[in-house]
Structure 1
Amino acid sequence: RSADRPWWAGGVGSGGSGGMAMRCSLRTWVLLGSLALLFLTSLLFSLSLRGGGSLPYLDPPSWEELRRVKLVPSYTGSHRLAPPGGALLKTCACHRCVGDPGVSDWFDENYDPDISPVWTRNNIQLPSDVYYWWVMLQPQFKPHSIQQVLSQLFQVIPGHSPYGTWDQGRCLRCAVVGNSGNLQGSGYGRAIDGHGFIMRMNLAPTVGYEEDVGSRTTHHFMYPESAKNLAANVSFVLVPFKTLDLLWITSALSTGQIRRSSKVGHSLSSRRRQVQIYNPAFFKYIHDRWTRHHGRYPSTGMLVLFFALHVCDEVNVFGFGADSRGNWHHYWEQNRYAGEFRKTGVHDADFEAHIINLLVKAKKITVFP
């Protein structure tokens, strides 16, 4: 009897509707199967492209890219975008520009134009990891409020960066001049003086050595212990290692109450607008991205070199490394112990030389031997 049949068996009066339901169900399964096959085919095709070609938009962002923080929006970073047609974008009017993307994948992966090398009001707040790394470079016995110290300092010196955004019509050529004895007899003086920015470090005398090292200076990078009086038109870039260094420069520019082992006198107070403070976040950026934690922290030479790579269009390097006989000493002295720093582990001179060689191969700097 029909009453004893299951609901799906169908009777004389429901045979048409039951068959139609089964046909619709079959069509649904066929449609779903086709969609699944299409999805798998598309997925396999995408994976094959990722394995055989360089299509960066198919690659997920790395963890480093996800956690990257733009510490200072002083550069827009827009020059990284390639124009339509695949042509390389020119970021300056020089023959070769530091900021031009697409020349070296290694450089582009590590170079971040959004990090300012100068400590200003805009980036006064350091990320916690940067701050603790910085204060441990030279631990101090009496901690100070870093925010209060910087607020006082920026009442004395300009609290903004003097370096603007990339200008495609500009060609700012910079010379980074080290203190190596290989400058002796080089005759590079005129070539060095022909640059727009000329950056020197620590003692670096020029009087009496003009033929080899030049006579002009626009930026001088110093620690408090190595600081000296500079010409009125030279920017004094302080490389601080602790809060006490910031207290010292504030005092040297105002009251003069805090004395250090440097030779800077009260004359510094008349040139406040020429003082800049090296950004600890930029310091750590070099340590993380470029020297890769080799040594306790980068050498002054590396700090100045990467400062130039972030503010200049063309960078030329003089006076780095040992002399032609393998001796490590300054061009103004013969110091038999000048290479002892290579044994301390504070700086890794060999790895830094390796980075410089990579920058040369990447066509980002030119080293004059």
Structure 2
Amino acid sequence: MTTLLKRFHYITALLSSSAILLFLYFQNSEVVLKYSYYSFVSERAQRTSHICLEDRGNSSWFSERYKPTVPILLNSTNSELHPNISSWWKELQDVPNVSNYTEVVDQLFSLFPDKEHYSDAGPDRCRTCAVVGNSGNLLGSNYGQQIDSNDFVIRINKGPTEDYEKDVGNKTTHRILYPESAVDLDDNTHLVLLPIKVLDLQWLISAFTTKNITQTYTKVPSTIKASKDKVMILHPEFIRYVHDNWAEGHGRYPSTGFLTLIFALHICDKVKVFGFGATSDRNWHHYYDETLTLFEYGSHGGDFENKTINQLHQENKILMYKGLT
């Protein structure tokens, strides 16, 4: 009887110990599983964030050129130009400057929005942008839906959408232009003026008021259909920054397409680029006409700009869609 009692106590103690060990094991496993799960979620969140928000600091080549503090858009609080910027900008003008810049700016911001734009940047923002150039390589590309799926679709100069929707889409949130390339816009599109001269600012005022400016160095439209509340103006200092930092002084000033791309890098978290570069036969012409462009010559350093755009793609700062090249 004593022996049976001892065996009973032994078995009871063994079972109790086993139960405790099993309890501790499963508790520990639960902690490990929970830790693994949250680690997975954290990693997934980081990967998702990285997909949208490009790391501006993981490329020394990019970091040397990208200046996050540069004023992008002109407003009344940043309109006073540094003498170096002012003298460089005025040298670009092909027509004599007979107007007082300060007076023009005062009039400008009595008519158009005078506020900070796109100051909502942060780790939680995920703004995707399509920059749509005018290259003939867009023809037959079927990029239309991909372009329109982005938050912002930024078009350049006169590039049309009508009759080309399948390849270029039909959504436009911003169009960057200057007086000589002006076209009518719908009420949902931001007019982003690229001012190469004080007269460009005066033309913008005139187009919405007196409509008396019809000539710069060539004939320009006296008015434009666009929403006055959506007008924005690129800052002369931003133009100089793109010329110095990104074009490295090639050409007199950057092309509209190149400026647009760098503009997108500053206001977007993910930049996709369509319609840049040559066609499959190595020609440079627009998708809407066959006028050849000698991009290596003229006022812009086209060849260097093209190399810089390709470098941005290689550095994973933009995603290039090269169409039918």
Alignment counterpart, residue 303 of structure 2, candidates 350, 356, 368:
350
Opposite residue 254 of structure 2, the aligned amino acid is P
Aligned counterparts of 1:264 and 1:233: Cα–Cα separation in 2:
22
Residue 235 of structure 2 is matched in structure 1 by: 279
Return the alpha-carbon distance in structure 1 between the equivalents of residues 230 and 56 of structure 2: 32
Tell me how far apart the structure 2 counterparts of residues 235 and 213 of structure 1 sit (CA, whole Å).
18
Looking at both structures, which has the greater relative contact order when contacts are Cα pairs under 8 Å and sequence separation is at least 6?
Answer: 2
Q: Which amino acid aligns with 2:141?
A: S
Count of aligned pairs between the two proteins:
275
- 1:24-173 to 2 correspondences below 5 Å: 93=49, 95-98=51-54, 100-173=55-128
Give the match for residue 70 of structure 1: none
Tell me the alpha carbon deviations over residues 313-364 of structure 1, each in whole angstroms, 9 at most, x when there is no partner: 00000000110110111001122xx2234233x2122211111121112211
DSSP-derived class of the 1:141 partner: coil
Tell whether the 8 Å contact from 1:201 to 1:301 is kept in structure 2 after alignment.
Answer: yes
Structure 2: 5+ residue runs without aligned partners? 1-45
- Give the CA RMSD over aligned residues: 1.9
Structure 1 match to 2:257:
301
In the alignment, structure 1 segments of 5+ residues that lack a partner are 1-89
CA shift for structure 1 position 105:
1.1
CA pair 189-107 structure 1, distance change in 2 beyond 3 A = same
Instruction: Report the residue type matching 2:98 in the other structure.
Output: P
Residue 281 to residue 272, structure 1, CA distance change in 2 (3 Å): same
SS at match of 1:288: helix
Cα distance, 1:168 vs. partner? Answer: 1.2
Q: Could you say which residue in structure 2 is the equivalent of 1:35?
A: none
Structure 1 residue 234 displacement after superposition: 0.3
2:78 & 2:161 partners in 1: Cα distance? 34
On the 8 A contact 1:97/1:364 being kept in 2, the answer is: no
Provide the identity percentage.
43
Given that 2:295 and 2:303 are in contact with CA atoms closer than 8 Å, whether structure 1 keeps it comes out as no
Partner of 2:10: none
Counterparts of 1:144 and 1:186 in 2: how far apart (Å)?
46
Task: Give deviations 1:8-33, integer Å, cap 9, x for gaps.
Answer: xxxxxxxxxxxxxxxxxxxxxxxxxx
- 2: CA distance, partners of 1:301 / 1:266: 21
SS in 1 for 2:131: strand
2: CA distance, partners of 1:281 / 1:97:
25
Deviating beyond 6 angstroms after TM superposition, the runs of 4 or more aligned structure 1 residues are none
Q: Which amino acid aligns with 1:265?
A: T
Match of 1:201 in 2: 156
Q: Which amino acid aligns with 1:302?
A: F
Which digits, 9 at most, give the CA deviation of each residue in 1:181-223, with x for residues without a partner? Answer: 0000000000000000000111100000000000000000111
1:191 aligns with 2:149: no
For the Cα contact (< 8 Å) 1:94–1:171, is it kept in 2?
A: no
CA contact (8 A) 2:206 2:223 kept: no
**Equivalent position to 1:211, from 166, 171, 175:** 166
Letter in 2 for 1:126: L
Letter of the 1:262 counterpart: V
Shift of 1:116: 2.4
1:329 aligns with 2:285: yes
Partner of residue 39, structure 2: none
What TM-score results when the alignment is normalised by the length of structure 1?
A: 0.71
Could you tell me how far apart the structure 1 residues matched to 2:58 and 2:202 are?
43
2:294 to 337, 340, 347: 340
In the superposition, the TM-score normalised over structure 2's length comes to 0.80
In structure 2, the CA distance between the partners of 1:214 and 1:130, relative to structure 1 (3 Å rule), is same
Which of the residues 300, 303, 319 maps onto 1:366? 319
**Matched residues in 2 for 1:139 and 1:339: separation?**
21
